[in-house]
Amino acid sequence: MSIYERIDTGTKEGHIPPQVAEYLRIFFKSCDRALSDAGKETSSMETLYHQYLDGIAAQITHPADFDNYHTRITEPIDYTHFGTEFIRPFIDREGSTVLGRENLTKIREQLARGDNVFFLANHQSEVDPQVIKLLLEPTHDEIGQEMIFVAGHRVTSDPTAVPFSLGCNLLCIYSKKHIDHPPEKRHDKQHHNAKTMKRMRELLEDGGHCVYIAPSGGRDRPDDQGILTPDPFDPPSLEMTILQVRQVHRPTHFYPLALLTYPILPPPNEVRKELGEKREVAFAPVHLAIGDEIDIDFFDGHEHPNKKERRAARAAYIFSKVSDDYRRLQTIDQAYKQRT
């Protein structure tokens, strides 16, 4: 039975909601087109297509329970392997880039001695964790595999996102963009976030952890002119992370991380409050840049005596580092596309 026949059967039998079925048809058709663009047979993905649909069906009937800290699941089903292998064929390896490998080597040494590392990053695609793992695989695989991602509720609640999320280490939070929806759940969500922050501190006390966080609070989206740039960092979100670090006795290091992954799986143009969204995959190069380590105490208060201004200045400074590297990645990406 083909993947489309399974979707039709699941819809008729009431196992797959019609809206989810529509999104899945769009998604799998986009996968087929992307594979064709890459010169690959769609049959090469048939097993993974069916594994993905199995995961979605399981989530619809028996939703996974994500704890505040979710450790990646590798048995009896290896969701980590599933996620990377599903995304692998859609990455144009020839045109993809990793900048700052020397910083990755430094990070490896810091983690090995029990220090913690934070990547302060932009976020473009729902599959950024899988893309990061694949880009780091050739030279720094262990960093990508063990990285912890601070993740919003969408990727732990949407049935079409959960099969990928199960294979990642996640600190699960409600982002500022969604914490007030619905209003009556705000207190519960704040309590959940407080428990997640406590769990983060416990992990940092253990040491040797690498954490990815996007202080903008969500995925980058094009502006009204269709120009895609990283969303500015939210100062309170960044300060909350710094506060957790300062309560821990282990040394912690901060690095800017720039991602250009939007073309492979773009988000909807608008932030949706409800779960469920149309997804379309493309065959495309992806890019990552690790900047030099940042002294998080760079702003000592003399230039910005007002606490709010000082925090805003710190967020803007770190964001400028990510933006500078993002522009470098854009230049590389555009040059490659012109050549091909």
What pLDDT digit, counting tens, does each position of 238-296 carry?
999 999 999 999 999 999 999 999 999 998 876 555 555 789 999 999 999 999 999 98
Cβ atoms of 291 and 100 within 8 Å: the answer is: yes
| Token pair of 280 as six digits | 């379309």
What is the domain partition of the chain in residue ranges?
A: 1-62, 69-339
Q: Tell me, which fold does domain 69-339 have in CATH?
A: Glycerol-3-phosphate (1)-acyltransferase (3.40.1130)
- Six-digit token string for 111: 């983690």
Among candidate residues 288, 204, 190, the one with its CA nearest the CA of residue 242: 204
Instruction: Give the mean pLDDT of 220-240.
Output: 92
**Each residue of 154-180: pLDDT tens digit?**
899 999 999 999 999 999 998 776 566
Torsion of CA 47, 51, 56, 62, to 10 degrees: 150
DSSP string, 79-113: HHHHHHHHHGGGB-GGG-EEE-HHHHHHHHHHHHT
Strand order in the sheet with 169-172: 69-70, 169-172, 148-151, 210-213, 116-121, 252-260, 287-290, 97-99
Interatomic CA distance for residues 3 and 43, integer angstroms: 11
Q: Tell me the average pLDDT of the chain.
A: 92
Environment class of residue 221 by beta-carbon count within 10 Å: exposed (0-12), middle (13-18) or buried (19+)? Answer: middle
